[in-house]
Amino acid sequence: MKKIAILGSTGSIGTQALEVIGAHPDAFTVEVLTAQNNADLLIRQAIAFKPNVVVIGNEQLYDSVFAALDPHHIKVYAGSNALNAVVEMDTIDVVLTAMVGYAGLKPTLRAIQAGKNIALANKETLVVAGQLVTELARQKGVNIYPVDSEHSAIFQCLAGEFHNPIEKIILTASGGPFRGKTESFLQSVTKAQALKHPNWDMGAKITIDSATLMNKGLEVIEAKWLFGLEYHQIEVVVHPQSIVHSLVQFEDGSIKAQLGLPDMKLPIQYALSYPNRLKSAFPRFDFADYAQLTFEQPDTKTFRNLALAYEAMGRGGNMPCVLNAANEVAVQAFLEDKIKFLAMSDLIADCLAKVAYIAQPSYDDFIQTDKATRLRAQELMNVMA
């Protein structure tokens, strides 16, 4: 019986993780649930799954959460300090980091420091501070199990192959809602259009990242650290059907791929249950339903964010941190109708060019880089608006 802490239980990954846990009550139990603002859903989840501890990030919501859960004898805490402390609890076996964005870095580091295995759905943790995170995980003997469907696919392809060197990996991308569209078309796309992903049901931020191909750029950087790869060993191919989730090519030229219907519950379950595969009722892929599986090269001239991510990864140091912070500001501005779709790439490119480069950043350097980038991005956004 694995005891699970879910950071970000009210989001897309968190809610699906609870579905997986609910389907396997003999394999998993919920020890901790956390959310930032969605107190109502957090309360319902806590009453259903009976965790030991609940943390609500927004301290103003503490009283209402406490009043609802105290009769159920569930401990309730609030604020970022509580979130960072709760991951160190002795009773936790696996921490599922399902928070979105930079906010997931500190609690993930605290969990690793405490020796907890990580089911990683927060790709920004490795984008911002990949070297710091992976070195700490090695020191502490902590395993990081990928939850992103693409990285889970690579991880599954590597089962039994860890002694065989990788020649390259190929991450697949759906292409998002604007695949094949021109720059002139993208000039006037709306938030509503960008939020309509063709294959996946995700949160707003990740959905916009998918539309700009930044999500794939972040995944490229994440893959570098998860699998110990170099810049030239990671390729991206657009696969509109989202059936082949990613591929590994070995030094003998053989390629292994992992296939399945687009359903995040499968990689979530694999990360939580590894090294075992638990029986599931997930819908099964049938080749008869897909007469064609197609592949094409990504258009990095129109969708510049993927190229910007490769640039940041190639420069290294704190540049991926700059990329991530600028992107978070840009996406939020787009969601608030403050800047246009293509302006997001302009803002990110400006920050990569203007924020000071640090070759060997410390944790404090990442904090300062994140702050400096957000200030620069805000200044530029004000000019664009």
CB 286, CB 241: distance < 8 Å: no
pLDDT score for 204? 87
Q: How confident is the model at residue 200 (pLDDT cuts 50, 70, 90)?
A: low
Q: What is the pLDDT of residues 261-291, one digit of tens each?
A: 999 999 999 999 999 999 999 999 999 999 9
pLDDT score for 199? 67
pLDDT score for 183? 94
Chain centroid, CA 33 distance in Å: 18
Check whether 103 has a pLDDT greater than 90. no
Averaged pLDDT for residues 60-70:
98
- Outline where the chain has alpha helix (H): 12-23, 39-49, 62-69, 80-86, 105-113, 124-140, 149-157, 183-186, 191-194, 204-212, 214-227, 265-273, 304-315, 319-335, 343-354, 363-384
Q: How confident is the model at residue 145 (pLDDT cuts 50, 70, 90)?
A: very high
Q: How confident is the model at residue 381 (pLDDT cuts 50, 70, 90)?
A: confident
CATH numbers and ranges of domains, the chain? 2-146 (3.40.50.720), 316-385 (1.10.1740.10)
Q: Which of 86-100, 308-322, 370-384 has the lowest mean pLDDT?
A: 370-384
In terms of pTM, does the model score above 0.85? Answer: yes
Residue 6 φ/ψ, nearest 5 degrees: -110, 110
